Amino acid sequence: MRRTLANQTSGPSGLADYWRVGIVASWFLFAVLMLIVRAPDIAALTLVDTDDNLRLAQVRALLDGQGWYDLRQYRLAAPIGADIHWSRLPDLPIAGLILLMRPFLGAAAENWAVAIAPLLPLGLGLAALSLIVRRLVDPRAWPIAVLLTPCALGLLSMWAPLRIDHHGWQLALLALAIAGLVDANKRRGGMTSGIATALSFAIGLEMLLYLAMIGAIAALFWIRDRGEAPRLAAYGAVLGGGTALGFALFASEANRAPVCDALSPVWLSVLAIAGAALVLVALLSPAGWRARLGLAAIAGAILIAGFALVWPDCLSRPEGTSSELAAVWLDNVREARPLHVQDWRAVLALLAMPLSGAVGYTLALRRSRGSDDFYRWLAVAALALASFALLFWQMRLGPGMQMLFIPGAVALAWHWIRKIRASPSAAVRIFGTVGALILITGIYMALPIAAFPKAEDAVAEAREEIADQCPTAEALAPVAARPPATIFTPIDLGPRLIVMTPHSAVAGPYHRNEAAILDVFHAFQRPPDQARAIIARRTADYVMICQGISGERHFGAEDEASLMHALIAGEAPGWLEPVTLPEGSPFRLWRVR
């Protein structure tokens, strides 16, 4: 049998023996550096992303006494509130940190809680990535995975202070599920993948495709090798039981209905049956691989057919939105657009890690051919390749794709650096190591991007500069000083408004609240007389826009007959009374008469 990348060690070393201490130290260093860099933003509670703001609003509501299973946000779409499809699971660490630090820090406890909470999945993610490369590349290779993490475009930002949305947890859990998949201890590996998968489903469905692939790979491992039955049985049992427990503990009242966009009876039934089927086939485990393939195919066909017959509504877009809402909003979200329509500079920056990782995966597959490690490498490489293909569907999957190519990049780095360090020439060892790191990390991609900068657009830059002020505490302070009211504003401003002011908003960018979202779009896109009726129906006290982010074309800014065009041009209708704000404010505010 050929030697594999993972068994080419000459013996134990400090890097291999003390990797746990090394991971904790690396995590602590990352955490301290990021907290220092983000200290001004932490003090100002600068939550830029809409989902981060809504997460904090949900945690505040929980701590103020809102029910555990009631996830409606009552300061959006009043009086019934906005139905939010999330889970309470990501709220727990934030709420726990606030309660823990409040006796010592007072009001500042909230700021530090949202700063520290994202660092928890960072630690889990670093540990999981290190486990993967220890098991596949070499027990001493984990520092390379740690060093490459900041080079994976967009990945570290998902674990940065103030990034309290649930995506950081799901990325870390995906890495943990893969670490279980490549664990030589089959039972432990199956349990690890099952726990990570169940927790990820309890948080949300964003990783559904990846997690389904991990389950399929576990089954393929068993089809190939009957000895994989303990992994498959452990995975199936923990997946089914963990999902049921996650549903019982974290599914909101709204998610007890058969909805398609969250862990609900739909996905609970699918995962529970899938888990039971995996346990059953693992227990049966016929001797021939063809028999195992047939058994798995029958179980899979029954599961798919049952899903299609019982839950046909979930075969289409899980959000269940209308074509109108998709046209005016969902299809215009930049992160939801595919790779091939992005600016070429963004594409180049995104390709750096995948190129290194792809070369590394190819090398690892070639060198491990004929060994059991070949199939483990093949599984991880297939996940990475699938993640890249999914970019042609939605760019929002970019951070996950970057993470999945890290093991391949580590394999390439381990191969090159070992050869370079073995050279008798000091120049080769020094400059060769630097050159290898430049190539592997993708720093070279900065050269063409810098050589051909994007053409300057003075108008666009001015608008962006104004837009950057919109979420700041300083800009919102004059608005917050007014008595609590309902403000009619574009949906991306809604979550920030309810976090930084006592006011309520009509809508935020959350698809279950289609009527409220469409009312906001319709009001700004239509003539002022039609907009007045919509705004009156929503019992709004004020109308507010922020110059730069509110005048996008899908809000009707280019239509001279629209309310948005009139507001931007300073030609508000008579039923809107201008409210004076401090000079330089990015906002424009009107009282509804």
Tens digit of pLDDT per residue, the chain (593 long)? 344 555 554 444 577 888 999 999 999 999 999 999 999 999 999 998 999 999 999 999 999 999 999 999 999 998 899 999 999 999 999 999 999 999 999 999 999 999 999 999 999 999 999 999 999 999 999 999 999 999 988 899 999 999 999 999 999 999 999 999 999 999 999 999 999 999 999 999 999 999 999 999 999 999 999 999 999 999 999 999 999 999 999 999 999 999 999 999 999 999 999 999 999 999 999 999 999 999 999 999 999 999 999 999 999 888 888 999 988 888 777 666 777 777 778 888 888 889 999 999 999 999 999 888 999 999 999 999 999 998 888 777 889 999 999 999 999 999 888 888 888 888 888 888 888 888 888 777 777 877 788 776 555 555 566 667 888 999 999 999 999 999 999 999 999 999 999 999 999 999 999 999 999 999 999 999 999 999 999 999 999 999 766 455 568 788 899 999 999 999 999 999 999 999 989 999 999 99
Residue 62's contacts (CB-CB under 8 Å, 6 or more residues apart) are 68, 88, 91, 95
- pLDDT at position 11, please? 44
The single residue listed with the structure tokens 């007389």 is: 529
pLDDT at residue 344, as a whole number: 79
Which sequence spans correspond to the domains of the chain? Answer: 462-592
Structural tokens at position 423: 């050279």
Please name which of 336, 412, 350 lies closest in space to residue 381, comparing C-alpha atoms. Answer: 412
Is the alpha carbon torsion for 68, 69, 70, 72 positive or negative? positive
Is the distance from CB of 139 to CB of 9 less than 8 angstroms?
yes
Amino acid making up residue 556: G
Which residue(s) pair with 504 in the sheet? 486
DSSP string, 261-318: SSSSHHHHHHHHHHHHHHHHHHHH--SSHHHHHHHHHHHHHHHHHHHHHH-GGGGS-T
3-state secondary structure 42-93: HHHCCCCCHHHHHHHHHHHHHHCCCCCCCCCECCECCCCCECCCCCCCCHHH
pLDDT of residue 42: 97
The strand pairing partners of 542, in sequence order, are 487, 591
Alpha-carbon gap, residue 124 to 121, rounded angstroms: 5
Distance separating alpha carbons of residues 222 and 282, to the nearest angstrom:
8
Longest dimension (CA), the chain: 83
Closest CA to 125 of 168, 90, 172: 172
Partners of 592 in beta bridges: 576
Q: Which residues, listed in sequence order, are joined to residue 280 by a DSSP beta bridge?
A: none
Residue 542, SS3 per DSSP: strand
The answer to whether the Cα torsion of 518, 521, 525, 526 is positive or negative is positive
Protein fold of 462-592: Rossmann fold (3.40.50)
How many whole angstroms separate alpha carbon 384 and alpha carbon 390?
10
Find out whether 89 and 203 touch, Cβ atoms under 8 Å.
yes
CA 84/CA 97 separation, integer angstroms: 23
For residue 210, give both structure tokens. 């990846």
Taking Cα atoms as reference points, which of 120, 129, 214, 211 lies closest to residue 169? Answer: 120
Question: Which two three-digit tokens encode residue 572?
Answer: 């508000």
Whole-Å CA distances, 310 to 39, 204, 270, 304, 354 = 51, 21, 10, 10, 39
How many whole angstroms from its chain centre is CA 547?
Answer: 28
| pTM metric for this prediction | 0.93
- CA proximity to 278, closest of 290, 292, 261, 288: 292
What is the C-alpha separation between 528 and 265, in angstroms, rounded?
44
CB 576 within 8 A of CB 541: no
Taken as a whole, the chain contains a residue count of: 593
| 3-state DSSP of 235-256 | HHHHHHHHHHHHHHHHCCCHHH
**Separation of alpha carbons 113 and 102, rounded Å:** 10
Using the CB atoms, write b or e for 132-156: b if 16+ within 10 Å.
bbbbbbbbbbbbbbbebbebbbbbb
Within 10 A of 438 (CB to CB), how many other CB atoms are there?
A: 12
Hey, is 370 helix, strand or coil?
A: coil
**Which residue type, as a one-letter code, is found at position 482?**
R
CA 311, 241, 189, 165 dihedral sign is positive
Q: Which residue has the tokens 């028999």?
A: 291
